[in-house]
Structure 1
Amino acid sequence: MSKPKTKTQPKPTPQAAGAAAYEGAQDEMFQLVTPEGTAPQPELLPDVPTRLKLYRLMRRARHFDERAWVLYRTGRMGVFPPYGGMEASQVGTAAALTHDDWLFPTYRDTGAALTYGLPIPQTIAYWRTSPHGWAMPQDLKVLPFYIPIATQYPQAVGAALAEKRKGTRNVAMAYIGDGGSSEGDFHEALNFAGALGAPCVFVLQNNGWAISVPTRTQTRATNLSRRAEGYGIPGVRVDGNDVLATYHVTLEAVNRARNGEGPTLIETVTYRVKPHTVADDPSRYRTDADTAGWDAKDPVQRLRTHLLAEGHLTEEQDAAITREIEAEFEAALQVADAFPEPTPAEIVDHVFAEPTPQLVRQRAQIMAEEGA
């Protein structure tokens, strides 16, 4: 892989130099479909049914994101971290797993969890802070959405090593954002996984922002996937707005892990076009110049353009997909709306599988106060 191209200027400030280096490093990403929908390496593309499946999954994830905004603004959803524009990064990675693998999402990875199989009614309940969304399905190895930054990385290594000790070929996949790569848990997990050969896939979604701090300010590094080299594991940098490229490299990493070849770090280069949360105002920390050009790289439109041009999708079929997704969500919303109102004591019911003595006492106290 060639060195990142950087622009040289007389005595640049550290922030300006970092911005220039980050801009030049974009050329190093693996890509299969261009923003215009063309595929220079068609032999590397997945088969047509897989492409259509990934397209539908992205459309489904985007619809949830858009409807969540509406529900929040009408008082029917809690504070929600949108992921619009990052569908390829989330769908392309989660779709490479099987039902026996583990998924460790961050708070922004609702799209990945939906792709992996988390039911829509339960997902809505979670973001409504309802107990009906707190406990993950027993038959789905997905953990609740993590709010702490990067803590899921070492925990995913633990799950992966448990699977390895049991003699399975199952894999653990964990997500963080670019900000998470500055946390100690990130480095500890990569070292831990590399040293012990854990069947783990680390997804680092570089969406350009750690809340209000741009990546170029957070670090002088221009290729975060290279941090894998320090721990003796492979690192891959992929266009995170190209779902086919993301799926390709993730499937390779998952197969490596299954075959006992250890972990991989995947940096998906994408962009958080939406605010940090629905309660955030990004105009306070980023300008139009920061977001310029990213609409043209929209991951859903990119694959749609490709499929239409190749004759694998028609406008009528696309409209039918829209109707199916909308109907699915509205039916799921009715289920979520029908969940009974939670009782105060339920706040302690999903903390541990077996409640501790302290929780038993707290629950009794809550029940007594509620009765009073």
Structure 2
Amino acid sequence: MSDPRTPETLHDPEFGPDLAEVFGPAQRDGGPELVQLLTPEGERVHHPEFDLDFGAEELRGLLRDMVLTRRIDTEATALQRHGELGIWAQLLGQEAAQIGAGRATRPQDFVFPTYREHGVAWCRGLDPLRLLGLFRGVDHGDWDPAEFNFNLYTIVIGAQTLHATGYAMGMQRDGVVGTGDPDRDAAVLAHFGDGASSQGDVNEAFIFAASYNAPVVFFCQNNQWAISEPIERQSRIPLYQRALGFGFPGIRVDGNDVLATYAVTRAALQRAREGQGPTFVEAYTYRMGAHTTTDDPTRYRLSDDVEHWKLKDPIARLEVYLKRNGLADDDWFADLAAEADALGHTLREGCKALPDPQALAMFDHVYAEEPPELTRQREAYADYLAGFETAGGAA
């Protein structure tokens, strides 16, 4: 039998109907339902429902966010290769999906990320150096979620969607949904991937969100691969269509188009803030790099696919649009490149300077009020560590 990770299995009867018909060429490019405002060639197009006007400064800001987010990813990958990080979850190729969604949020909204939302973290004002501490293994994520309305990274696949739904239900009960006050009404943005959409937690979150009309936007970055499993093995319909089975709308957007992603996510969040319930947004994109730095994607996907998606690069298409329309000059691009270089330097030096944690710090923040049993464990471990100091002194 053919390797189930190869395109040949699209025609293998063991896997049911001919999935090549379900995921034909048009569908693999997103299909006719794909919401798009900027083509891969950098041409501005319009959409009857989600069209927006973007000013020059706003467009430059979106490009800057994507360029700097890519630099964060590049530097972190290099740091891992040099042994400075234990692992890194790459986002190469997904910058538009993350920046578009992140910039669509308001300060009072709350975001629940996976472990890959480095661009969204950037949009929420989080210093990227604080992300590196987690992947270096010196902390578990040292930021206060309440300070940035950005939850800690979630490693358990799909678990954050349940957290997000519960938080959104709490917003309803706090009276910050559907009041008509734009500075008060809030919503939740829950990120996950196409692989997570197959998890029970995600489907349970859909059920609760639909049942309670929770103000949550489920934002799925469909990057085509759940580690080594292609999307064809996970669903026989486009992912966004699953939402209809749970009773709320689903939308597929070009995840490599930052303008369309911003417009669709903004509309979905506003719908949630007004009390109209959940929305499923499928950002159709592609993971250009590895799942993490421990992964080798050449073992399970074709180089032709990667080359095909390189032509859809989210940064290149907006850069072309800005240059073609005279919205950014050479000096502006030179300044952006210098800013990216400075950010890279800061990350390299800052990562190496991150302090190692104290051994007893593992007992901190376990409980709001430390119980006696934990106190005894702390004291016993402190005595254990002290024994090494005594032995070293005697030697």
TM-score for the superposition, normalised by structure 1: 0.91
Contact 2:75/2:348, CA 8 A, preserved across alignment: no
Cα 1:274–1:361, aligned 2, differ >3 Å: closer, same or farther?
farther
User: Secondary structure of 1:28's match?
Assistant: coil
- Structure 2 counterpart of 1:28, one-letter code: E
The separation in 2 between residues aligned to 1:100 and 1:356, in whole angstroms, is 34
The separation in 2 between residues aligned to 1:135 and 1:367, in whole angstroms, is 27
- 2:5 corresponds in structure 1 to none
- 2:40 corresponds in structure 1 to 35
The separation in 1 between residues aligned to 2:14 and 2:266, in whole angstroms, is 41
The separation in 2 between residues aligned to 1:151 and 1:10, in whole angstroms, is 33
Matched, 1:369 2:365: no
- 2:25 corresponds in structure 1 to 23
- 2:182 corresponds in structure 1 to none
Cα 1:354–1:215, aligned 2, differ >3 Å: closer, same or farther?
farther
Alignment of 1:224-239 (within 5 A): 224-239=239-254
- By how many angstroms is 1:76 displaced? 1.2
Q: Deviations over 1:51-92 (max 9, x none)?
A: 211111111110000001111111111201101000011111
Cα 1:230–1:323, aligned 2, differ >3 Å: closer, same or farther?
same
Contact 1:205/1:268, CA 8 A, preserved across alignment: yes
Contact 1:238/1:246, CA 8 A, preserved across alignment: yes
- By how many angstroms is 1:20 displaced? 5.1
Alignment of 1:101-250 (within 5 A): 101-131=109-139, 133-136=141-144, 138-168=146-176, 169-221=185-237, 223-250=238-265
- Structure 2 counterpart of 1:202, one-letter code: F
The separation in 1 between residues aligned to 2:212 and 2:26, in whole angstroms, is 35
TM-score for the superposition, normalised by structure 2: 0.86
- Structure 2 counterpart of 1:210, one-letter code: A
User: Secondary structure of 2:251's match?
Assistant: strand
Query: How many corresponding residue pairs?
Result: 364
- Structure 1 counterpart of 2:156, one-letter code: P
Gaps of 5+ in 1: 1-7
User: Secondary structure of 1:238's match?
Assistant: strand
Aligned equivalent of 1:306, options 321, 334, 345: 321
Cα 1:339–1:12, aligned 2, differ >3 Å: closer, same or farther?
closer
CA RMSD of aligned residues (A): 2.3
The separation in 2 between residues aligned to 1:361 and 1:120, in whole angstroms, is 37
- Structure 1 counterpart of 2:38, one-letter code: V
Contact 2:141/2:153, CA 8 A, preserved across alignment: no
Aligned equivalent of 1:266, options 273, 276, 281: 281
- 2:375 corresponds in structure 1 to 360
User: Secondary structure of 2:205's match?
Assistant: helix
- Structure 1 counterpart of 2:221, one-letter code: Q
The separation in 1 between residues aligned to 2:12 and 2:195, in whole angstroms, is 29
- 1:5 corresponds in structure 2 to none
Contact 1:122/1:336, CA 8 A, preserved across alignment: no
The separation in 2 between residues aligned to 1:86 and 1:14, in whole angstroms, is 31
The separation in 2 between residues aligned to 1:136 and 1:22, in whole angstroms, is 45
Contact 1:93/1:247, CA 8 A, preserved across alignment: yes
- By how many angstroms is 1:204 displaced? 0.8
Gaps of 5+ in 2: 1-9, 177-184, 388-395
User: Secondary structure of 1:268's match?
Assistant: strand
- By how many angstroms is 1:327 displaced? 1.5
User: Secondary structure of 2:87's match?
Assistant: coil
Q: Deviations over 1:179-217 (max 9, x none)?
A: 111111111111211121111111011100011000101
Cα 1:160–1:76, aligned 2, differ >3 Å: closer, same or farther?
same
Cα 1:343–1:245, aligned 2, differ >3 Å: closer, same or farther?
same
- By how many angstroms is 1:24 displaced? 2.8
- 2:103 corresponds in structure 1 to 95
Alignment of 1:290-329 (within 5 A): 290-329=305-344
The separation in 1 between residues aligned to 2:21 and 2:301, in whole angstroms, is 14
- By how many angstroms is 1:33 displaced? 0.3
Contact 1:246/1:268, CA 8 A, preserved across alignment: yes
Alignment of 1:55-74 (within 5 A): 55-74=63-82
Contact 1:161/1:198, CA 8 A, preserved across alignment: yes
Contact 2:40/2:312, CA 8 A, preserved across alignment: yes
The separation in 1 between residues aligned to 2:11 and 2:91, in whole angstroms, is 35
